[in-house]
Structure formats: C-alpha cells, structure tokens
Amino acid sequence: MSPLPFIFKNPELLAMAMTHRSALNEKKGSQQSNERLEFLGDAVLELIVSHYLFQHFPHLPEGQLTQKRSEIVQTKTLAAAAKRLNLGENLIMSKGEKKAGGASNIGLLANTFEALLGATYLDQGLKKTIDFVYQHLLNQLDELVTLAGVHDFKSELQESWQKRFKTAPKYQLIKTVGPDHAKTFVVKVLLNHQVKGEGEGLSKQAAQQAAAQKALEKIS
C-alpha cells in the first residue's frame, strides 16, 4: 500500500479495512470484514464533503450542493482514489474473488476506500480523516474524474427534472442478485411515484447511475 500520512495506533483496524468479506470463508479466526467500517466511512465522507462544499460554494442552493456532492462521492471517483493508493493490490480477499478481478472491481475499490476512511476516523480522529480526504480526494478531483472517465447521469437527470418538473428523482432498491461477495444491485428511479428507468450495477451507486441513464434516454 502507498504510505499513509500516519501510522495506525491500532493496526487491527487497518487490517479490517482491507479485508473483503469473501476472505472470511478461507480464514479461520475472529477477523471481521470491512463492511461495518465502510458503513461508518460512508457517513464520515458525506459529512466532510458536505462541509467542504458548504464552505467553498456559499451562494449555491441546497439542490446544487447535493448534485456536486454526488459527483464527488460516486463509485468511479472513489475507485480512482483507491487505485492511486493501491488499495486493490492490498485488499485481502478469497482466491475466487481475486481470480474474478476483485482487485480492479470499481465497486470493491470504492467500498474499500470508504472502509479505510472509517478506520482512519476511529484510529486518528476527525481532523486527520479530513486531512486524508483533502489529500487523496478533494485536492485531486480533476485528475480523478479524468482517470475515472466519469459521466454523471444522476446529476444530469436531477438538473433536467428540476428544470422541467420542479422535483428531484427518487431512487429505490428493487432487489439484489448473486452471492454476498459478488452482488448485483437493481434500482429504479421514480418521478412522482412513477417508474421512469431501471438499472443494475455492482454497487448501489452504479445501479442508480444506470437507472438515471435509462430515464435520460426516454426523455431524449
């Protein structure tokens, strides 16, 4: 892994952040996967990015701030940040997951980045976590967006519907398919309770992007 700007006080937190749940099937002991840390890291990331946008764009209304935040924290952008940190190469996973390309799976990379943030928050506190997010995400946004090849269909759909219908899209998870280590998420997007698009992806964010793309295709 690329050297972190600090040494973990509790190395077990770092190990947990880098452990995909598929590895638990091949590993004996009490080691936990990174899913709980991912949950925490997702919330911490949203707080840090929201505060950043609130400070740097004082004249933007709430809807546009939400749009900008979604552009920053989407799966492809986080996966690009994870690649720069070589997280995929250091992710502990099952042989099957590794053989299936888990080290380069954008959903797993984005989740691992969030798990690392959760671990950093617990081990180093909020200030160090903020510094980490600025260093490895916010200060690198232009490069990361280019690297990720991001096309943000969700933001495009939100802008379109806000102008035409004065309302924002609502996303709803329909189902998940496949084993826990290789789930596919199916999501629908609604306008005033009517389904306007459906998409699937290896993460909820990717499925939402696919659903938004379908809705935009209907409009055009």
Q: Could you give the number of structural domains in the chain?
A: 2
| Domain end call among 85, 114, 148 | 148
Compute φ and ψ for 120, nearest 5 degrees. -65, -40
What residues does 195 pair with on adjacent strands?
Answer: 190
By residue range, what is the domain housing residue 178? 153-219
Q: State whether 108 and 16 are in the same domain.
A: yes
- 48 lies in the same domain as 123: yes
Same domain, 136 and 166: no
Which of 124, 148, 172 is the last residue before a domain boundary?
148
How many distinct helices (H) and strands (E) make up the chain?
11, 3
Whether 92 and 175 share a structural domain: no
In a domain, residue 3? The reply is no
Find tokens 């789930």 and name the residue.
Answer: 183
Residue 171: beta bridge partners? Answer: 189
Domain closes at, from 116, 148, 180 = 148
Torsion of CA 32, 36, 41, 46, to 10 degrees: 170
Active site residues per annotation: 42, 114
Residues 183 and 98 in one domain: no
Identity of the amino acid at 143: E
Contact 17, 25 (CB under 8 A): no
- Domain membership of residue 160 (yes or no) is yes
State pTM to two decimals. Answer: 0.67
The answer to whether the CB of 176 falls within 8 A of the CB of 107 is: no
Tens of pLDDT along 64-98? 788 778 878 888 889 989 998 999 888 988 888 88
Judgement on whether residues 59 and 88 belong to the same structural domain of the protein: yes
- For 119-176, write each residue's pLDDT tens digit: 999 999 999 999 999 999 988 776 666 666 656 788 889 889 998 899 999 999 999 8
Q: C-alpha dihedral over 56, 62, 66, 69, to 10 degrees?
A: 10
